[in-house]
Amino acid sequence: MNMLKKGELYYPSSTTRKKAWVKNKNIYQEANKDPVLFWEKLARELFWFEKWNKAFEHKAPYFKWFLGGKINITSNIFEKNPQGWEKIKKKTALIWEPEPTTEKPKKITYRELFSDVCRFANALKKLGVKKGDRVGIYLPMIPEVMVAMLACARIGVVHSVVFSAFSSNSLKVRLQDTEAKVLITADGYWRRGKIVDLKQSADEGVKETKVEKVIVVKRAGNNVSLDSQKDLWFHEIVKNEKDFCEAEPMDAEDTFFILYTSGSTGKPKGVVHTCGGYAVQAYWTGKWIFDFQGGDIFWCTSDPGWVTGHTYTVYSPLLNGITTLMFEGAPDWPKPDRWAQTIEKHKVNIFYTAPTAIRMFEKYGAALLKKYKFKNLRLLGSVGEPIDESSWLWYFTEVGKKRCPIVDTWWQTETGGILITSLPGLGPFKPAFAGLAFPGVQADIKNGNLVILPPFTPGMLRGIYKNPQKYEETYWSSYGKDVYFTSDGATRDKNGLIRIVGRVDDVLKVAGHRLTTGEMEDAINLHPNITESAVIGVSDEIKGEVPVAFIVPKENSQNLAQEVLAQIKKEIGPIALPKQVFVVDDLPKTRSGKIMRRILKKIISREDLGDLSTLANPESVEKIKLVVQKNQAGFIIALLNIIFITAGIAAIIIGLLWSTGVLEQIPGIFKH
Ligand code: WTA
């Protein structure tokens, strides 16, 4: 592949094509002829205790796949792995890179992982956890997160992974909704050289929930308080357990896991995925999109608390019998090139990350990467938000060394796996375009919005936990009950390649993380001195988008903005912190009382505000403009002050040195 220009189409090299699983573009036609038959053919490659008796059933807006089939995803990862258990059991399943560079990485084989999973599954059973029960997993990026997920899967327990950087309140809301009996957490973990006390958040999070037992992994060794009635050490409960546990045959349509994500309102939605379809889609999308081959080492940088890590750090690579890498820390810690070092050190072949990380790497400068040849890399991936052309080209040139295709993969928590991307052996690749729908996926664009048509895909969501109304309203009301509305705007070029423009609802993608303006507003409004608030997303060079908050106080107080920041951190977590908080008297509203966030956005970006006559309170706009301008001017003045003060101090120092004659001692300076 030879590329440098924007807007062009690029095709894989003959070496990439030769090695690829999919080499022939007829696959699209074959799949389109009968998508149900196509997915059935794919599903047959997995091990089923019992085959399904009906492949697809559609009672709009509900649908099912592989009805009557019995499966367990862990049988397909271990004893019945499609690559053959004998072939993979001694292979490294997981490479774990801890954050402290003084600690050694861990390599865990498939055999060892299987034993760990069985021991923990047996321990869970002993605690009385049964098929269908819900268990919360609030763990950092450590091997036990994988062990915990797989152990639940082994015995048919529904797991719900909660991102470890979420606050205790976010954890609580999720545990309350799932009515989890058990929570699996850790003492602490490393982040940017410091230990984060996770147990403390977990203790807060389980209050007012149905959690009876908290299992604690000892990771960071920080002091934690243990409640003798409730808390158990992970290492103690697995110590005497057998290293085999029978897999529970699960109905294809049994709930596999619940993963919460931000929806169009404040309350997070529990997206429900099922056992059969998710496994089929996770296996095949990984195999064809990342072209997983026997010896591959795959690094997906996402945490399993987000769907990207859930599917592509854990389930998909393991189903494909390859090695997956998990990194505990931040990619630029302790040095900006930690991520590059990690790729080299572990001979990573496929690297899958988000545009926000790519932009951060780019900002550190290409010079940093000169010493890295990335000889083992053969494929790159992008996910989570639209990637702009220049970041794409930078990624391609500086990381892929113009040798590796980039798969720009579009999907959602709801879709369970990737639905749109060009395939590595076929292409074409076009910067900023995700590409074509995966074979067997019927994607379309209606009035500029991306939709998915029947038969949908086996791995797509089956519902919102305990909230069918939300499910119907969010996904199946815009274009009818048989058209899945993605909430993403999209366009298509003359080659049929799809470009994702971005969300058309109130969802922000902050550093690739999904958050809604509604959930941030709800968090702010809990402050006793706030009447109402509005959060908008503004563009950011690295994070793509960042929140900015407008708050209307009951009474203005000096530290209100700081208190609001603390409030958001407490309610959601540090990822949701607004870049700026503006204290205003009133928010622009329609006559029916709807807050016009669009106008706030325009004020920030200094765009023309257009006709304001439809507002109930147009006078509010001028006042907000003044607050914003004052703030922006204040920022410039502060910056100028810093520059002047620094220049002043430098002049004084030089003056002093000059007067003492020190400068004349330095060769080449003031010495003639
Ligand atoms: C966005 C993440 C552009 C999109 C897997 C979607 C993307 C939302 C891409 C889902 C991409 C994901 N190009 N936008 N390649 N991939 N998105 O649920 O707006 O965290 O609706 O799942 O991310 O976010 P979620």
Q: What is the pTM of this model?
A: 0.91
Cβ of residue 503 lying under 6 Å from some atom of ligand 1: yes
Cβ of residue 61 lying under 6 Å from some atom of ligand 1: no
The verdict on residue 219 lying in a domain is yes
For residues 321 and 191, state if they share a domain: yes
pLDDT above 70 covers a percentage of the chain that reads: 93
439 Cα–ligand 1 center, Å = 19
Mean pLDDT (whole number) for 217-245: 97
372 by Cβ neighbours in 10 Å (0-12 / 13-18 / 19+) ranks as: middle
Distances (CA, A) of 502 to 388, 449, 511, 514: 12, 10, 14, 12
In one letter, which amino acid is 583? V
The residue whose CA has the least distance to atom 23 of ligand 1 is: 384
Tokens of 574: 């540090």
Mean pLDDT (whole number) for 138-148: 98
> CA nearest 455: which of 27, 30, 52, 65?
65
Cβ of residue 384 lying under 6 Å from some atom of ligand 1: yes
Task: Identify the band that residue 267 occupies on the pLDDT scale cut at 50, 70 and 90.
Answer: confident
Q: Give yes or no for a contact between 418 and 393, defined as CB atoms under 8 angstroms apart.
A: no
The number of the ligand 1 atom at minimal distance from the alpha carbon of 413 is 18
- 300-312 pLDDT per residue, tens: 999 999 999 999 9
pLDDT at 85 over 80: yes
Cβ of residue 500 lying under 6 Å from some atom of ligand 1: yes
For residues 549 and 515, state if they share a domain: yes
For residues 424 and 542, state if they share a domain: no
The number of the ligand 1 atom at minimal distance from the alpha carbon of 261 is 18
386 Cα–ligand 1 center, Å = 8
Report the residue among 411, 413, 507, 545 best suited for mutation to probe ligand 1: largest number of ligand atoms under 8 A from its CB.
411
Cβ of residue 28 lying under 6 Å from some atom of ligand 1: no
Residue numbers of the domain that contains 584: 511-626
89 Cα–ligand 1 center, Å = 34
Contacting residues for 249 by C-beta, under 8 A, at least 6 apart? 49, 50, 70, 71, 72
* Residue 5: strand, helix, or coil: coil
For residues 332 and 395, state if they share a domain: yes
The number of the ligand 1 atom at minimal distance from the alpha carbon of 503 is 19
The verdict on residue 60 lying in a domain is yes
Task: Identify the band that residue 264 occupies on the pLDDT scale cut at 50, 70 and 90.
Answer: low
The number of the ligand 1 atom at minimal distance from the alpha carbon of 387 is 13
Rounded CA-CA distance 244/563 in Å is: 51
> For residue 556, what pLDDT is reported?
78
Report the residue among 281, 285, 451, 514 best suited for mutation to probe ligand 1: largest number of ligand atoms under 8 A from its CB.
514
The residue whose CA has the least distance to atom 15 of ligand 1 is: 410
The verdict on residue 308 lying in a domain is yes
Q: What is the mean pLDDT of the chain?
A: 93
- 194-206 pLDDT per residue, tens: 999 999 999 999 9
The verdict on residue 643 lying in a domain is no
Mean pLDDT (whole number) for 127-139: 98
CA 373 and chain centroid, separation:
28
Neighbours of 444 (CB within 10 A): 15
> For residue 654, what pLDDT is reported?
61
Mean pLDDT (whole number) for 124-133: 98
| Omega before residue 61 within 30° of 0, cis | yes
Cβ of residue 412 lying under 6 Å from some atom of ligand 1: yes
Helix/strand number for the chain, H first, E second: 21, 30
**Residues comprising the chain, all counted:** 672
> For residue 212, what pLDDT is reported?
98
The number of the ligand 1 atom at minimal distance from the alpha carbon of 382 is 15
Task: Identify the band that residue 668 occupies on the pLDDT scale cut at 50, 70 and 90.
Answer: very low
Mean pLDDT (whole number) for 32-37: 98
pLDDT at 669 over 50: no
> For residue 635, what pLDDT is reported?
61
Choice among 228-232, 252-256, 302-306, 503-507 with the minimum mean pLDDT: 503-507
What CATH number does the domain containing 401 carry? 3.40.50.12780
> For residue 642, what pLDDT is reported?
65
Cβ of residue 434 lying under 6 Å from some atom of ligand 1: yes
Neighbours of 176 (CB within 10 A): 14
Domain boundary among 492, 525, 541: 492
> For residue 593, what pLDDT is reported?
81
Cβ of residue 514 lying under 6 Å from some atom of ligand 1: yes
Residue with token string 């982040």: 191
pLDDT at 672 over 50: no
Contacting residues for 373 by C-beta, under 8 A, at least 6 apart? 401
The residue whose CA has the least distance to atom 14 of ligand 1 is: 385
Report the residue among 163, 308, 385, 449 best suited for mutation to probe ligand 1: largest number of ligand atoms under 8 A from its CB.
385
Domain boundary among 426, 461, 492: 492
Rounded CA-CA distance 24/38 in Å is: 15
- 15-32 pLDDT per residue, tens: 999 999 999 999 999 999
| Omega before residue 35 within 30° of 0, cis | no
Tokens of 482: 């048989």
The verdict on residue 98 lying in a domain is yes
Mean pLDDT (whole number) for 591-615: 88
Cβ of residue 354 lying under 6 Å from some atom of ligand 1: no
> For residue 31, what pLDDT is reported?
98
276 Cα–ligand 1 center, Å = 23
Cβ of residue 474 lying under 6 Å from some atom of ligand 1: no
pLDDT at 561 over 50: yes
The number of the ligand 1 atom at minimal distance from the alpha carbon of 421 is 15
For residues 196 and 295, state if they share a domain: yes
The verdict on residue 289 lying in a domain is yes
The number of the ligand 1 atom at minimal distance from the alpha carbon of 507 is 19
Domain boundary among 492, 526, 546: 492
- 285-341 pLDDT per residue, tens: 999 999 999 999 999 999 999 999 999 999 999 999 999 999 999 999 999 999 999
Q: What are the start-end ranges of the H helices in 354-490?
A: 355-364, 389-394, 468-476
> For residue 639, what pLDDT is reported?
63
Report the residue among 264, 406, 430, 488 best suited for mutation to probe ligand 1: largest number of ligand atoms under 8 A from its CB.
488
CA 151 and chain centroid, separation:
22
For residues 280 and 147, state if they share a domain: yes
Mean pLDDT (whole number) for 106-119: 98
433 Cα–ligand 1 center, Å = 13
Phi, psi of 276 (to 5 degrees): -75, -60
332 Cα–ligand 1 center, Å = 23
Q: Where are the beta strands (DSSP E) in 68-181?
A: 70-71, 92-97, 106-109, 134-138, 158-161
> For residue 13, what pLDDT is reported?
92
Report the residue among 259, 307, 412 best suited for mutation to probe ligand 1: largest number of ligand atoms under 8 A from its CB.
412
382 Cα–ligand 1 center, Å = 10
* Total count of domains within the chain: 2
pLDDT at 670 over 50: no
417 Cα–ligand 1 center, Å = 11
Rounded CA-CA distance 127/652 in Å is: 71
> CA nearest 406: which of 388, 122, 414?
388
The number of the ligand 1 atom at minimal distance from the alpha carbon of 414 is 18
Report the residue among 281, 316, 383, 508 best suited for mutation to probe ligand 1: largest number of ligand atoms under 8 A from its CB.
383
347 Cα–ligand 1 center, Å = 28
For residues 445 and 591, state if they share a domain: no
The number of the ligand 1 atom at minimal distance from the alpha carbon of 306 is 20
258 Cα–ligand 1 center, Å = 18
- 430-482 pLDDT per residue, tens: 999 999 999 999 999 999 999 999 999 999 999 999 999 999 999 999 999 99
For residues 527 and 564, state if they share a domain: yes
263 Cα–ligand 1 center, Å = 13
DSSP string, 178-195: HT-SEEEEESEEEETTEE
Choice among 188-197, 219-228, 570-579, 587-596 with the minimum mean pLDDT: 587-596
Choice among 5-19, 213-227, 311-325, 363-377 with the minimum mean pLDDT: 5-19
Cβ of residue 499 lying under 6 Å from some atom of ligand 1: no
For residues 424 and 521, state if they share a domain: no
383 Cα–ligand 1 center, Å = 6
For residues 215 and 84, state if they share a domain: yes
For residues 383 and 524, state if they share a domain: no
Cβ of residue 92 lying under 6 Å from some atom of ligand 1: no
The verdict on residue 314 lying in a domain is yes
* Residue 522: strand, helix, or coil: helix
Contacting residues for 229 by C-beta, under 8 A, at least 6 apart? none
The verdict on residue 592 lying in a domain is yes
Contacting residues for 279 by C-beta, under 8 A, at least 6 apart? 46, 71, 73, 76, 256, 315, 319
507 Cα–ligand 1 center, Å = 10
What CATH number does the domain containing 560 carry? 3.30.300.30
Task: Identify the band that residue 666 occupies on the pLDDT scale cut at 50, 70 and 90.
Answer: very low
pLDDT at 667 over 50: no
203 Cα–ligand 1 center, Å = 32
For residues 622 and 482, state if they share a domain: no
